[in-house]
Amino acid sequence: MAKLVKNEEEIMLADAARGFLDDAAPLTKLRGLRDAGKTHDPALWTEMAQMGWTGVLVPEEAGGSDMGHAAACVLAEEMGKTLAPTPFLSTAVIAATALRQVASDRATAALSKIADGTVTYALAIDEGKKFDPETVELTAEKDGNGFRLSGRKRFVVDGGFADRLLVLARTDGGLTLFDIPADRAGISRNATPMIDSRDAAEIDFDKVEATGEDVLGQVDAAMTVLQPALEAGQAALAAEMTGLAAGAFGMTVGYLKERKQFGMLIGSFQALQHRAADLWCECEVTASAILHAGRMLDSDPQAATLAVSLAKARAADTAQRAVQEGVQMHGGIGMTDEFDMGFYMRRARVGAEWLGDYGYHAGVVARLRGF
């Protein structure tokens, strides 16, 4: 397959994002937030809203910039390079895509709030140790004209501070997706910083009331709304992980050009040159897969599953290789908290698990290819 490359508009968007993020969200910002016991930066989110990033997938009639999934992936990739601590994936990508599947005044109003940065979302879907939407056990029992939600969700990324929750529940005839405020009576959140210093929560639902208006889409037909949102999130997460790999690679190459052993720059050692070249090739091929996934979501979303799962599987593998090589080539300093490579390693680990790990997506690719 020929290598896919960014077009002129995508290059301009990436350059603009890079200039902003290097100044507004460098790695030192994440370290400072972690040391202060914080998991996100509301001020940064506000700035992103002012730049139109929060509305990247919001229609123009709802106040968004509607740049498309390929553009969302470009932004996510640049955010991955500095590990910008924002709810971009959960809100601007996943929630916005889900809401776009529903033609209602309420959905349009919610999209407007995402675009102007005044509301954040979290996706409450996982319950077990692995991503598996079809095995949801949280129940939504009929209660008059509405429902009562009972159960527990785990690994709800951004769930500790999100204003609203997209909750996947089991109803009598299948699965139903609900859009409810995170502070509704009966909801209790136990937020815990993850190893990458970001927020995740375990959320309990104790007979939480939900009306028919809280249903996003149709009862018993959650995947009609949720599947496009999941694939959008998986593609953007893969892009973030590709940016992460590029950031770790750049840090490693910079070190190879500075560190001396035996009076020589270690970057002159052929063995390290070969390892760096091999990693660069992997990063480039994975970046092509990400571009392809984003463009498929824009041009033919019904046929994008293979491209998205291929991108997520490759991104998880490439990011893991990038941080492992980075730590090894830095030697002992690579394992210390004082050095930033550890932030890339921890984010790579979390990203590999969220929205389906390598095994999950490799299985999807194998199935779609007839194996």
Structure confidence at residue 327 (pLDDT)? 85
Where does the chain show beta strands of DSSP type E?
121-124, 139-143, 146-157, 164-171, 174-181, 187-193, 199-210, 260-261, 264-265
**Domain spans of the chain?**
8-119, 122-222, 223-368
Q: Which CATH number fits domain 223-368: 3.10.180.10, 1.20.140.10, 3.40.50.80, 3.10.450.50?
A: 1.20.140.10
State whether residue 142 is helix, strand or coil. Answer: strand
Structure confidence at residue 210 (pLDDT)? 96
User: Cβ(216)–Cβ(102) under 8 Å?
Assistant: yes
User: What's the rounded Cα separation, in Å, for the pair 132 and 175?
Assistant: 13
Q: Which two tokens stand for residue 214?
A: 């809280």
CATH architecture label of 122-222: Beta Barrel (2.40)
Structure confidence at residue 258 (pLDDT)? 79
Q: Which two tokens stand for residue 132?
A: 């598996």
Q: What is the DSSP string of 147-183?
A: EEEEEEEEEEETTTT-SEEEEEEEETTEEEEEEEETT
Structure confidence at residue 336 (pLDDT)? 79
Q: Which amino acid is at 263?
A: G
Tens-binned pLDDT, residue by residue, of the chain (371 aa) = 445 788 899 999 999 999 999 999 999 889 999 999 888 899 999 999 999 999 999 999 999 999 999 999 999 999 999 999 999 999 999 999 999 999 899 999 999 999 999 999 999 999 998 999 989 999 999 999 899 999 999 999 999 999 999 999 999 999 999 999 999 999 999 988 888 888 899 999 999 999 999 999 999 999 999 999 999 999 999 999 999 999 998 888 887 887 777 778 877 778 888 888 988 999 999 999 999 999 999 999 999 999 999 999 999 999 999 999 888 877 767 777 878 888 999 999 999 999 999 999 999 999 999 98
Domains 8-119 and 122-222 share a fold: no
Say what the pTM is. Answer: 0.94
- Which letter does DSSP use for residue 3 in this model? P
For residue 185, what are the CA distances in angstroms to 119, 131, 205, 207, 243? 19, 27, 9, 9, 39
User: Cβ(197)–Cβ(85) under 8 Å?
Assistant: yes
User: Cβ(182)–Cβ(158) under 8 Å?
Assistant: no
CB crowding 192-222: b at 16 or more within 10 Å, else e: eebebbbbbbbbebeebebeeebbbbebebb
The CATH code of domain 8-119 reads 1.10.540.10
| Cα radius of gyration (the chain) | 21
User: Cβ(252)–Cβ(330) under 8 Å?
Assistant: yes
Structure confidence at residue 262 (pLDDT)? 78
User: 61, 68, 58: which is closest to 9 by C-alpha?
Assistant: 68
